[in-house]
Amino acid sequence: MKVLIKGGTLVDDAGEYRQDLLIDGELISRLAPDISPSEADSVIDARGLLVMPGGIDVHTHFNIDVGIARSCDDFFTGTRAAACGGTTTIIDHMGFGPAGCNLHHQLGVYHDYAQNSAVIDYSFHGVIQHIDDAILEELASMVHDEGISSFKFYLTYQYHLQDRDTLRLLQRLKEVGALATVHPENDAVVNFNRRRFIAEGKGAPIWHALSRPAACEAEAIGRTLNLAHLAGDAPLYIVHLSNGLGLDYIRLAQAQNQPVWAETCPQYLLLDINRYLEPDGLKYILSPPLRPRTEQDKLWVGLVAGDIDTVATDHCTFPLAQRREMASDDFTRCPNGLPGVENRMALLFSEGVATGRISRSRFVALTSANPARLFGLWPQKGNLNPGSDADLVLFDPECTRVIHHADLHDSVDYSPWEGFTCHGYPVMTLSRGNIIYQHGRFTGQAGRGRFLHRKPFTCQRSVQI
Ligand code: URP
Ligand code: ZN
Ligand code: ZN
């Protein structure tokens, strides 16, 4: 089956081209200024549209068990929502398993979650919940046999690592060709503040934000950067960066050629701490929390300058009804996380490209090409080159659309983006040559998504990605 995408403007992370694009089966087969419709079985009219590599969201939590609750989007509804927002690949962060379990245990659990459910291609980040010799040994087979070439460790929550274990882990990940990703928040600060606030009767959502101030995140970022340096400049990826001081520390490390990359999320660029003062402030409980407006401005500077490399969502959904039931007078009882997997591309396009802050190519770099390079998916994903998977998003840069949760495809009961006006919106998504979303309708299939066996980590910071 050959599909011709005709008349569009192709955009990749290197530039823009007025070219037609021919798909043969699951792959991009040819680009040329004028390909005859007679070469194809069907033609998609892309006049006025941008044709870009499908989005890669490297930070989701589908079906995650966080102990007090399970996130309500599973690999079907979560990837369906992703597809309807122009995302064609996700890399999900595995949740913690039973105490003492090995790395393969959670991998098996996650394969079972995703296998017959995902509508787009997917992989997982391994999760580190304790360190011993057996875990360090097992990392090699996770990378080389299982195709899991990135791992997340936490500096807060139940299974956070101590410095000695972080150091051992970072050294070993470098050795086996994997990228360390870190949730950086100072556990002692978080718990000290939470206990104090609750004892003082301060259970409203705003106290969640005040219990985890920017310095609490920045301290953990600085500490991990130094440990990564001491581990022989082990590669490090900072997830969900939310503040400017942390970004300054990252810049300093990058300036010294330390192999360090950073991710932020639309909520840290576009929503601020005042949301917690709304009557349903529980909607916005996530960690790190939303910050004062001034932090958003600093993140935008970093995004434009190239200090921040990716924009992901951290999609992790708990219904508002459940949040109210569990945590109406105590923010510490509220499961953490925000929806957003369907809105990432449109929000960043609207607030980044349509406002003139970033170019369309930089948009592709942040949402697709850089994630593909960093997480072992390049060149199969993240570009428009012949031979790559025909994972595409067709984007109408001129249309205006207001986000209403009723139009979205997740399974939660609200959107933090309700009422937000997007300038530019995805109109079609193709996954390996198949149209899975078109003009507001999901047209894909559960179980069509494939597990992606990712390559070991090889990026260098000195090479601008
Ligand atoms: O609050 C958040 N971000 N929940 C998801 C888990 C995590 O820390 O990324
Ligand atoms: Zn995290
Ligand atoms: Zn997360």
Among 314, 318, 333, 334, say which to mutate for ligand 1: greatest number of ligand atoms within 8 Å of CB: 314
Among 59, 60, 61, say which to mutate for ligand 1: greatest number of ligand atoms within 8 Å of CB: 61
pLDDT tens digits for range 368-425: 999 999 999 999 999 999 999 999 999 999 999 999 999 999 999 999 999 999 999 9
State the alpha helices, DSSP H only, in 200-319.
Answer: 205-211, 214-230, 244-255, 266-270, 293-305
Whether the pLDDT of residue 324 is over 70: the answer is: yes
Distance CA 344, CA 348 (A): 6
What's the average model confidence in pLDDT over 276-291?
98
Q: Which ligand is nearest to the CA of 289?
A: 1
CATH architecture for residues 54-374: Alpha-Beta Barrel (3.20)
Nearest to 150 by CA among 173, 166, 175: 173
Ligand 1 atom 1 nearest Cα: 286
pLDDT score for 377: 98
Residues, Cβ < 5 Å to ion ligand 2:
183
14 CA distance to ligand 1 middle (Å)? 32
300 CA distance to ligand 3 middle (Å)? 20
Topology annotation, domain 2-52+392-442: Urease, subunit C; domain 1 (2.30.40)
Q: Which residues line ligand 1 (CB under 6 A)?
A: 61, 183, 286-287, 314, 316, 336-337
What's the average model confidence in pLDDT over 212-235?
98
Whether the pLDDT of residue 439 is over 90: the answer is: no
Whether the pLDDT of residue 464 is over 90: the answer is: no
Among 316, 317, 331, 341, say which to mutate for ligand 1: greatest number of ligand atoms within 8 Å of CB: 316
60 CA distance to ligand 3 middle (Å)? 6
Distance CA 34, CA 20 (A): 6
In this structure, is the dihedral angle defined by the CA atoms of residues 77, 376, 426 and 389, taken in order, positive or negative?
negative
What share of the chain has pLDDT > 70, as a percent?
A: 99
Domain spans, the chain = 2-52+392-442, 54-374
Residues 6+ apart with CB under 8 A from 167: 227, 230, 231
Which pairs from 296-300 meet CB under 8 Å and 24+ separation?
296/268, 296/269, 296/270, 296/272, 298/243, 298/244, 298/247, 299/241, 299/242, 299/243, 299/244, 299/247, 299/264, 299/268, 299/269, 300/269, 300/357
What share of the chain has pLDDT > 90, as a percent?
A: 98
What's the average model confidence in pLDDT over 85-105?
98
Ligand 1 atom 5 nearest Cα: 337
113 CA distance to ligand 1 middle (Å)? 19
pLDDT score for 463: 60
Ligand 1 atom 9 nearest Cα: 314
What's the average model confidence in pLDDT over 449-465?
88
Whether the pLDDT of residue 35 is over 70: the answer is: yes
pLDDT score for 461: 83
Q: Which atom of ligand 1 is nearest to the CA of 316?
A: 5
Whether the pLDDT of residue 241 is over 80: the answer is: yes
Q: Which atom of ligand 1 is nearest to the CA of 286?
A: 1
Q: Which atom of ligand 1 is nearest to the CA of 93?
A: 9
pLDDT score for 352: 98
Whether the pLDDT of residue 223 is over 70: the answer is: yes
Whether the pLDDT of residue 274 is over 90: the answer is: yes
117 CA distance to ligand 3 middle (Å)? 21
pLDDT tens digits for range 332-378: 999 999 999 999 999 999 999 999 999 999 999 999 999 999 999 99
What is the average pLDDT score of the chain?
Answer: 98
CB contact burial 89-98 (16+ within 10 A = b; e otherwise): bbbbbbbbbe
Report residue 461 CA to chain centroid gap: 20
Q: Which atom of ligand 1 is nearest to the CA of 152?
A: 9
Where does the pLDDT of residue 105 fall: very low under 50, low under 70, confident under 90, or very high at 90 and above?
Answer: very high
